[in-house]
Structure 1
Amino acid sequence: MAVGYMRYGTFQNAGGDETFLEADRAGGKAFVAANRHNQFTPPTGGGVSVGVGGVGQVGTAGWSYGWGVMGSSIADGGLQAGVVGLGNGSANTGVVGEAHTGSAAWGVWGKSNQGYAGWFSGKVHITGGLTKASGGFKIDHPLDPENKYLVHSFVESPDMLNVYSGNVETDGSGEAVVVLPGYFEALNQDFTYQLTCVGQFAQAIIAEEIQDNRFSIKTDKPSVKVSWQVTGVRQDPYAVRNRISPEEEKSEGERGLYLHPEAYDQPRSSDINYERERAHEIIKSDLQKRAAELFEEHDAKK
């Protein structure tokens, strides 16, 4: 393939026509654009050197039976990135991923063997379901924030469970009324109760169950502090249409495979996504090799 260089650049307006470049070469490129200014240093905001720029309703588009667009960064450091999406307009979006065909379609796929497959700095909202192997919160330790983290696990349930709790003191007759949020009965069903007397031995019962978003407690002694907890199962329209099934049969293609084969001392080839990840690694390895060759090729011709 012939390689040409333009030292001073050029401009051409093709009007209503297209400019078409074609190559028919295994492992080759149809078009290469290089901007060598600061090419081996990360962008710092003081004028970014761009290899290829596109202007239009869609600035740059790629169509492929493999990867439509690939971005690869070969430098070390947290600032560098293979692909960056910036939404600079009002109510704009930085990156959009869509995949609508088949249950195994993934709009966005993040992978990391040592770091994080996804890192979100800010609020995250999910309109559909969320499944995970484990979860919790991780914060700077309140007693030693400079040197330690504090990590807690989520509380799990097979039901879409809401938990409410508090403390109340019964009056001189041993009675107390607990008022719940105004939306409680609209949101919840199948209530359960727990009562614990605090500070003295006493008996406590639910005198009247939840009605009109309140319930009453009765103790056998006056002025007893009672710690209470009430749970309810969600009954809002979304929850009713999207109940969680605690046990699911694996599909025909998933049987014999694992989400976490290492937990069962099984080989990586038993991972449900092994074939998909293996194909991804092969393509990625080849493209990274071609990217390295591209740098070497053009460095030799400077």
Structure 2
Amino acid sequence: MGTLVSFHAHPDDESIGTAGTLAKAAALGHRVVLVFATRGELGRSVPGVLAEGENLAVRRSAECYASAKELGVARVEFLGYVDSGPAGEPGAEAPYSFAQVPTEQAARRLALVLEDEEADVLTTYDDNGGTGDPDRIKVHQVGQRAGELAGVPVVAQSTTNRDWMLRGMRGLRSERGEAAPDIEIPDEAPAIGKPESEITHRVEAVEYAEQKRNSMRAHASQMGPDHFLLTMPDAVFAMGLGTEFYIVDEPPNPASAPDVWTDVFEPMR
């Protein structure tokens, strides 16, 4: 058995892009570890969810553990950096924000966890952070370097399959004659994910779709019960989010690949 470490910018980031991967790895007997760069203190909470005086960072931290329980995660760690907020906002330029932390410094902090866990696979994000978010871009930079420092055999960049997403949206529009509720995605979405031609691997996790949705529900301060991902019919949710996509620059030799890699990930072509 092996160990998969999944590195994320904020609480709830693990749920949409990688929860199926984490649940599948854990179900197959592998050790799964979640690491968050920040506690997401600049996130926008769902109205009415926080109790009077409740601290959002503390609440979001607790939600990480609830999400981890749903997915079978064995360990949750926080690197302790400050949330940068959205691109263009003052927080992203603040010298104390995660986005401004020297990459080498943060990478060494993450590498300590990777070395302690003897990680076989590390998941990060693609070079645009999947969405252009400053902290998610930093996760890519820090994760790539930390993987080098700790000698992790596989660093897999979680991404959105842009072509898959657009095909799905067009299908929904064709079927319904209108856009799906609360979703507006243009025909060209340069800030979201990567084209299918750049994606190297996928994880088929349809059978873990309910665990993935429960992971999302655990982040109640960010995703209310009326969130479009939580109100999708089960079949639509499984079809749209049951496959997760990754970019791996240097896939391991099959003869020496870690078990968790060969058990969970498969090539696109």
Q: Tell me if TM exceeds 0.5.
A: no
Shorter-chain TM-score: what band? under 0.3
TM-score, length of structure 2 as denominator length:
0.20
By percentage of residues, which structure has more helix?
Answer: 2
Query: Radius of gyration: which is bigger?
Result: 1
